[in-house]
Structure 1
């Protein structure tokens, strides 16, 4: 199977988010184009920026002129000059791979960052992309380089690096709320008139086997890609001193350049849980080599 900047074909990884235990992987460190999976990084930067500045994601943003020249999905038909709440832009981006919404978020926040820093050097969208790459660096995504906020062209990563991003992203309380819905009614303003739109989630696996995210994407260069997150009930163990030990459980699966991305992702999810249960039964020490643990720092 060809496609992607590395012609080695399919790449994947399955990892339990809280322990970091890698349960399955293939070509997981090979560079691939990741299409609109890049938009997960766009959303994380937006969430972190909102938290740091106190600016609500209900803030209205103006759709910038350059959306008229972008390739990639524009499901709402956004046009330059339209106004949309950052929150609705994020819904359309995370659920519908909306290129225009991703660029709108990048330009708005990039402009805010430049103003706060007293610097107008470079493009505002470039300032935002720098934040995406700084996030990647901080998370240890050493083989990742984002080229833009939407991912419709340019930008490469690996299955392992995108798993790091997914683990960090799902630590944000609001991320699952954006990504777990099958559809949502959102809207924008055009020339003072409200326009309503129902965005559908392109991640066909949402709602299956407790999958609550994260993102599906595809371009001719990347091939079909998907990253999923599934949560199980926490394990509650009583300790000899009468206290309880609570162990949360979340499986992250990233599949890149796979013609059967959904089937592969579900197979890896099931195999991942089975492998994780076996690992825990053996005390979590059956295979304890450092390369089999994915460590993701908590930046919040």
Structure 2
């Protein structure tokens, strides 16, 4: 059989579905989204694919969302055995003053008192305690100045492109009572782009999924049964029992300062699908920073992801509906082999684009004879080719190395030995005679 003829015979295995519209339209094209913020982004948490974006690469203030990087470094230090949840920290004078400063978000900490890393972590994540964040920076790095160096080094390591960390809490340096970290300036601010904040959220969730167990708590009692007992209420308005409750929401962090405005990195999971959203400096209809709008706009972003897209699974049955899928093996003892995939190829697709995906079966050229036919011998479990979703349009990801290839291995479900020379010769003679008549 000629190679071109072989390709034609395989055409039955190829079928076209909807190809996604150009990504730029998907990212920017939902005109009824009412996002009034300096920057916004929506990302698939599983793949890192950008679903929606506005000014995502601009360097902007992040306020207490800075604490997400502090969380990452604390959790990393615990994972590496450098610190422990039950180890205690004695409150320094700097932490005491900032943890009790009027007007700053805090869980009050007593002078010279000892608190566990777990207590400080909960206070930072749930109540956005600034003093607790600074205390943890001292636990991990000895000083906040050294910790800031590690924050920026970690940002670089994780692939950030637009960032500046100047303290562990997210406070403006000028609000730190003159005790801003060594190596920074009184006028410095924590600044990160929306895309890089989404990247931080991505790694925080993937590397330390336990972070959601704490960030998802609507409240928790600090030091219950003591005279320091305090109900810490989470600042995330999307959680249960909150004003802007959103089903599936379990993180991550709010931020508010005069410089940054109202910011929020959110995440929610429904039916096994998770999205990450970032809103920087949300504004109301009058153009003023709005705490409520950061939650309202986050809801719009998340609704867009959950409602306008659906999970589509592709398998060999999408190529041809049959009980068993086989390919011809002319030189095998058995002249066909059953093929299969371990699991369907699953992607999120805009509902409007379901009939544009192009799907194909691509055989490995190294498994083919010179005439283009499948070559024996074949081992059970051997890769024969790939089931692919070909998308001619550009997709964007928060990190290039996370870009999806949309392919799954097609393997042999059974072994096929090569037929003997005598059998192959007999088949050739039979084919020749058949062609005569």
TMscore range, shorter length? 0.7 to 0.9
**CA distance 1:185–1:276, change in 2 (3 Å):** same
1:117-132 to structure 2, matched below 5 A, reads 124-132=143-151
1:134 aligns with 2:167: no
Please list the CA deviations of residues 211-258 of structure 1 after superposition, one character each: whole Å capped at 9, or x if unmatched: 010011100110000111111223xxxxxxxxxxxxxx2100000100
Query: TM-score scaled to structure 2, two decimals?
Result: 0.56
Structure 1 residues 285 and 213 mapped into 2: Cα distance closer, same or farther (>3 Å)? farther
Pair 1:288–1:46, CA change in 2 (3 A):
farther
Pair 1:228-2:261 in alignment: no
Counterparts of 1:188-267 in structure 2, within 5 Å, are: 195-207=228-240, 208-234=246-272, 249-258=273-282, 259=290, 260-267=293-300
- Between the aligned partners of 1:97 and 1:287, the Cα distance in structure 2 is 44
Q: How far, CA to CA, are the matches of 2:132 and 2:152 in structure 1?
A: 19
Aligned residues: CA RMSD: 2.4
Unaligned runs of 5+ in 1: 1-7, 112-123, 235-248
User: Matches of 1:231 and 1:296 in 2, distance apart?
Assistant: 24
Tell me which residue corresponds to 2:304: 271
User: Displacement, 1:296?
Assistant: 7.6
Residue of structure 2 equivalent to 1:55 = 83
2:394 is aligned with 1:289: yes
- Structure exhibiting the larger radius of gyration computed from Cα positions: 2
Taking structure 1 as reference, are residues 161 and 195 closer, same or farther at Cα in structure 2, changes over 3 Å only?
same
**Distance (Å, rounded) in 2 between the aligned partners of 1:43 and 1:297:** 24
State the SS of the aligned residue for 1:177: helix
1:158 alignment partner in structure 2: 193
Q: Deviations over 1:140-191 (max 9, x none)?
A: 11211110100111210011000000011112131001100000112299xx
Matching residue of 2:137: 106
* Cα drift, residue 295 of structure 1: 2.2
Cα distance in 2 for partners of 1:195, 1:166 equals 32
Normalised TM-score (structure 1): 0.80
Structure 1 residues 166-175 or 29-38, which shifts more? 166-175
Aligned-pair CA distance for 1:102: 0.3
Between the aligned partners of 1:152 and 1:213, the Cα distance in structure 2 is 20
Instruction: Check the 8 A contact 1:212/1:230 in 2, yes or no.
Output: yes
Larger deviation, residues 68-77 vs 27-36: 68-77
Moved over 4 A (4+): 280-288
Shift of 1:82: 2.3
> Match for residue 94 of structure 1?
125
